[in-house]
Structure 1
Amino acid sequence: MALNVRLDIRQAQTLVMTPQLQQAIKLLQMNNLELSSFVEQEIERNPLLEVEEERPYSEETPSDAPEPVEDAPNLSEVDTVAGQDFAEESGTALDVDYDNTFNNDSPGDQVEAGMAAGGGEAFDSWGNGGSSDFSDPTGDLERTLAESKTLRDHLIQQINMELGDTVMRMVALHLLDHLDASGYMRADLDEIAETLGCDVDLIHRTLAQVQQFDPTGIFARDLGECLALQLREQNRLDPAIQALLDNLEMLARHDIPGLLRVCDVDQEDLADMIGEIRRLDPKPALSYSDEGLAQPVTPDILMRAGPGGDWIIELNPDTLPRVLVNNAYHATVSRQASDQDSKKYIAECFQTANWLVKALHQRATTILKVSSELVGQQDAFFSKGVGYLKPLILRDIAEAIEMHESTVSRVTSNKFIATPRGIYELKFFFTTAIASADGGEAHSSEAVRHRIKALIDEENPKKVLSDDKIVEHLRAEGIDIARRTVAKYREAMKIPSSVDRRRQKKMQLNGG
């Protein structure tokens, strides 16, 4: 067979994963604190970039500030993450699911799918059109974070593992934000219940659960309770030592005769009890880590009630950097550049600075768009309380704002919103749905769990509700749920079966 050479022209659509596009995806996933750290590094590298201090993010540009990128879109005109700006420069839109769409048609495509979730080249190598080496010279983002595990991380891990009910997890996280440096829970439980829109009994039950966490004594409301929690774990909390804990002020005054009387013990037993108390830790948070509790989560998004009863959503100006391109300085150094290397370096810096400003602008508008729709979908939760949490998935938000699900997922990952009911991760508001019995609107699985727990808490001790009875109550309220689902939710919340509950309540009624 003869071999010959010929020249063909073909037209085909391919996906080119440029370094700029990789970095845009990485910026979208960062929270504001991570973004601020990243921007500081870029300002050190690029002399044409500068950050405007003490001014919140807004649509308007101050007249006395360096001009931003000339073709940056207005805030109201940006409808997608990528928009036309990214498409013009990279030939590809950012609002696409890149996880499964790579090919090897060009050097820009030769990148693993994992890079779409956080990889990318440093800005200082973009000006020459990029390279085939997409490694991040600064290291993965995780490497920049502290490796030591804080007490807050330790407690959050226990909350996620031990509390099967999402409503209780939300309450526990709220309680966590009220711990002081010593590990004591100083907030008023009635005020927390009012803030979260739930029954105060739920707050008390959640507090009792988290008081069993490590380090022992955490979440205590006073010194006596802290010491009692530690003694209970050691199986040493008898009535005599409890009486001693109830009268710690007498111990502080060295009122030994009074303590002998109230504890009803002799001097030797009292000395032993005092010795036991002295071996306990009065500040459990400090014993875990030299740093104590980490600072509470800093929200990326702020939410407040508007004058007309609606919600106002804005990015947190305290953590969001406002980056500008110094066009005046660019014009000056461009005129003074004499050799080709200097001119090339200035051009690369200018191109990189312009792209960064666009990327940050579009990141901000995308986060606002997603969070605004999320708040709108969960309006009942913010207005009425945790029992009104609406079932929601990523597709619901994506379809409402005409974006891809992967974009919504990146926006809602590792970002927190400060609301009148507390600070929550955006991912918290996505829950599975349970169908309505009457064909109406579906119910959130978390709201159903909350209702099951409420029914059990309110049950008559002489008429304990079985799982079948709970199903009947829920269906009467318009919730179509199977008995095995009720049993699964009940077990996840660590609620005993009706037989065990009946036995426990019978013992309580008999004073056992």
Structure 2
Amino acid sequence: MPPRHSLVLRPTQSLAMTARLQQAIKLLQFSQSELEAFVDAELVDNPLLERAQDLSDAGEAGDRLEAVQTLPTEQASQQPPDWSDWDEYRNEEPWSPQDRAAPATAGVESDWSLEHLPQPDVGLREHLLEQLRLERLSQRESTLAAALIDALDPDGYLRAELPELAADLGCAPADLEALVPRLQELEPSGVFARSLQECFALQLARLDRLDPAMQTLLDNLPLLAEGRWSRLQSLCGVDVDDLNEMVSELRRLDAAPGHAFAAPSPETLIPEVLVTRDATGIWQASLNPEGRIQVRVDASAYRQLVRRCRTAGDRNYLSERYQAARWLERSLQQRGDTLLRVANALVGTQQDFFEQGASGLRPLTRRELAEKLTLHESTVSRAIANKHLACPRGTFALSYFFTTAIAGAEGDAHAAESIRQRIRSLIEGESPEAILSDEALVALLKQDGIEIARRTVAKYREAMNIPTSRQRRRQARLAG
């Protein structure tokens, strides 16, 4: 029987992620600095947008906002904008990148020059590739060397498995092995090391200080970490003064030579949420007016410009700019409302933390908070991403207050973070004569109603960079 074709209408439901919806989602998870940069770009691009102060906040909040934010002169002026040159502006060609980069004093004699412009930071990869051009390498060797540079970790170490990398590049592992010593001669000293010992050895060799005693010390760095100085003196064949001098030399070396090229620029941290106690003694959350970013649509300017439009293209452009400005205004308001809802629910759940500290943290997951607020879990995750909270106990990331639950001896639950802080306080309170082992910590925690395994205690202790009881006992003997 031949196939038959027919048209059938079937109703279906689907969620379409429009461009504005996608931008609204990104807006929610932006950090303070990212949001500031995004809004600044929109203010430059859209002539109908301007910054707005939160007129609903009065008194102290208004004073704080005025202290940290000074509006530009043209925005602070109460005079209505002058759009008399709209016809000329409309007919002008868009600015070119060269126009934007031109100095404001163009045509005026000054000592301005390109040398006065801030130079971009050079990354580790660019720094090494620049040196690679001066090396006498064949084209194939240069290609393999560039691949090795790309395989470096941010700290400058080469931790990639060379056989696997060679298979990807279609060469023999010996070809890469032969290149590594030549690349280790590049700056910074210690780059392309495969271990901490090799990194120190490369730097000491550059300083002509890699003698047999120092090499022996590098081969036995675990003994140095454990504080076994007498054993090191015996292995290196030096006295205590020489060993002290050798250790001092190691401390002057750079354990991560690549970090000098990957250090991020410092960023001012402005918490978006403030937590204070109200008159009834309950801790409440509020948005920080000093960090809140708001914009408003200049409707009067829009009406003036629409009346001056002569073509449909001009009217369409203004309509698009007006709708984009309205969307950004609403999205920023919705972002603040969502963040405040999440922060209030979080603070309401963690009241004991603000009274007692980390020991008062309650187990809380993003899903639990999302169900409480009738939000999607992903919305809660985006709302707390890159956000911070300031309270009398300090400044904390919002994600700090979400921690898993560990069952207690009597059926109650304890937050993992509070258990970690309890372990830290027990170790900090131990005496040099009675160092607590992991088994002893398990017993002490059990007395507090917390039953966890010894391996869990060891995992938490290692995560807090606390040495083992054996290492702490040696350190106590050396200090005493």
Aligned partner of 1:300 in structure 2 is 272
Aligned partner of 1:453 in structure 2 is 424
Q: Does 1:13 align with 2:32?
A: no
- Displacement of 1:466: 3.7
Counterpart among 54, 57, 74 of residue 56 in structure 1: 54
CA offset digits 1:193-244 (Å, max 9, x no partner): xxxxxxxxxxxxxxxxxxxxxxxxxxxxxxxxxxxxxxxxxx9xxxxxxxxx
Counterpart among 461, 474, 479 of residue 504 in structure 1: 474
Counterpart among 450, 464, 477 of residue 479 in structure 1: 450
Structure 2 unaligned spans of 5+:
59-119, 124-153, 156-223, 225-244, 254-259
Distance 1:472 1:329 in 2: 72
Distance 2:315 2:275 in 1: 46
CA offset digits 1:328-374 (Å, max 9, x no partner): 22223233333221222222222222222111111110011111212
Given that 2:284 and 2:348 are in contact with CA atoms closer than 8 Å, whether structure 1 keeps it comes out as no
Compared CA separation, residues 324 and 471, structure 1 to 2 (3 A): same
**Which residue identity is paired with 2:386?**
N
SS at match of 2:285: strand
Distance 1:502 1:337 in 2: 78
- Displacement of 1:383: 1.6
Percent identity, aligned pairs only, is 42
Q: Which has the higher contact order (CA 8 A, sep 6+)?
A: 1
Compared CA separation, residues 472 and 314, structure 1 to 2 (3 A): same
5 Å-filtered alignment, 1:197-276, equals none
Distance 1:491 1:292 in 2: 27
Aligned partner of 1:372 in structure 2 is 344
- Displacement of 1:45: 2.0
Distance 2:425 2:356 in 1: 16
**Which residue identity is paired with 1:504?**
R
5 Å-filtered alignment, 1:348-367, equals 348-367=320-339
CA offset digits 1:452-477 (Å, max 9, x no partner): 23223334555544433322221221
Distance 1:15 1:375 in 2: 33
Compared CA separation, residues 343 and 3, structure 1 to 2 (3 A): farther
Q: Does 1:469 align with 2:440?
A: yes
Counterpart among 309, 318, 321 of residue 346 in structure 1: 318
Aligned partner of 2:382 in structure 1 is 410
Distance 2:290 2:472 in 1: 54
SS at match of 2:6: coil
- Displacement of 1:409: 0.8
**Which residue identity is paired with 1:16?**
A
Compared CA separation, residues 464 and 40, structure 1 to 2 (3 A): closer
Distance 2:426 2:42 in 1: 56
5 Å-filtered alignment, 1:378-397, equals 378-397=350-369
**Which residue identity is paired with 1:38?**
F
SS at match of 1:450: helix
Given that 2:274 and 2:285 are in contact with CA atoms closer than 8 Å, whether structure 1 keeps it comes out as yes
Distance 2:334 2:264 in 1: 38
Given that 2:286 and 2:340 are in contact with CA atoms closer than 8 Å, whether structure 1 keeps it comes out as yes
Structure 1 unaligned spans of 5+:
61-145, 150-156, 159-234, 236-272, 282-287
Counterpart among 281, 284, 293 of residue 321 in structure 1: 293
Given that 2:432 and 2:473 are in contact with CA atoms closer than 8 Å, whether structure 1 keeps it comes out as no
Aligned partner of 1:44 in structure 2 is 44
**Which residue identity is paired with 2:33?**
L
Given that 2:442 and 2:454 are in contact with CA atoms closer than 8 Å, whether structure 1 keeps it comes out as yes
Compared CA separation, residues 326 and 472, structure 1 to 2 (3 A): same
- Displacement of 1:494: 4.2
CA offset digits 1:427-462 (Å, max 9, x no partner): 12222221111112x112121122123223334555
Given that 2:276 and 2:284 are in contact with CA atoms closer than 8 Å, whether structure 1 keeps it comes out as yes
Aligned partner of 1:25 in structure 2 is 25
Distance 1:292 1:411 in 2: 24
Distance 1:467 1:455 in 2: 11
Given that 1:432 and 1:445 are in contact with CA atoms closer than 8 Å, whether structure 2 keeps it comes out as yes
CA RMSD of aligned residues (A): 4.2
**Which residue identity is paired with 1:317?**
P
SS at match of 1:320: coil
Aligned partner of 2:211 in structure 1 is none
SS at match of 1:427: helix
Given that 1:36 and 1:320 are in contact with CA atoms closer than 8 Å, whether structure 2 keeps it comes out as no
Distance 1:506 1:345 in 2: 73
Compared CA separation, residues 42 and 7, structure 1 to 2 (3 A): same
Distance 1:399 1:147 in 2: 45
Q: Which has the larger radius of gyration?
A: 2
Given that 1:56 and 1:318 are in contact with CA atoms closer than 8 Å, whether structure 2 keeps it comes out as no
**Which residue identity is paired with 1:350?**
Y
Q: Does 1:488 align with 2:472?
A: no
Aligned partner of 1:401 in structure 2 is 373
CA offset digits 1:465-499 (Å, max 9, x no partner): 4433322221221112122212322333344444x
Aligned partner of 1:142 in structure 2 is none
Given that 1:398 and 1:404 are in contact with CA atoms closer than 8 Å, whether structure 2 keeps it comes out as yes
Given that 1:304 and 1:313 are in contact with CA atoms closer than 8 Å, whether structure 2 keeps it comes out as yes
Q: Pick which of 370-379 and 311-320 moved more.
A: 311-320
Distance 1:356 1:349 in 2: 11
Given that 2:271 and 2:388 are in contact with CA atoms closer than 8 Å, whether structure 1 keeps it comes out as yes
Given that 1:33 and 1:319 are in contact with CA atoms closer than 8 Å, whether structure 2 keeps it comes out as no
Given that 1:386 and 1:447 are in contact with CA atoms closer than 8 Å, whether structure 2 keeps it comes out as yes
SS at match of 2:386: coil
Aligned partner of 2:239 in structure 1 is none
5 Å-filtered alignment, 1:169-184, equals none
CA offset digits 1:35-78 (Å, max 9, x no partner): 222122212222222222xx237489xxxxxxxxxxxxxxxxxx
| Pairs aligned (count) | 302
Counterpart among 327, 331, 336 of residue 303 in structure 2: 331
Distance 2:264 2:30 in 1: 26
- Displacement of 1:505: 8.1
Distance 2:293 2:426 in 1: 48
SS at match of 1:356: helix
**Which residue identity is paired with 1:376?**
G
Aligned partner of 2:404 in structure 1 is 432
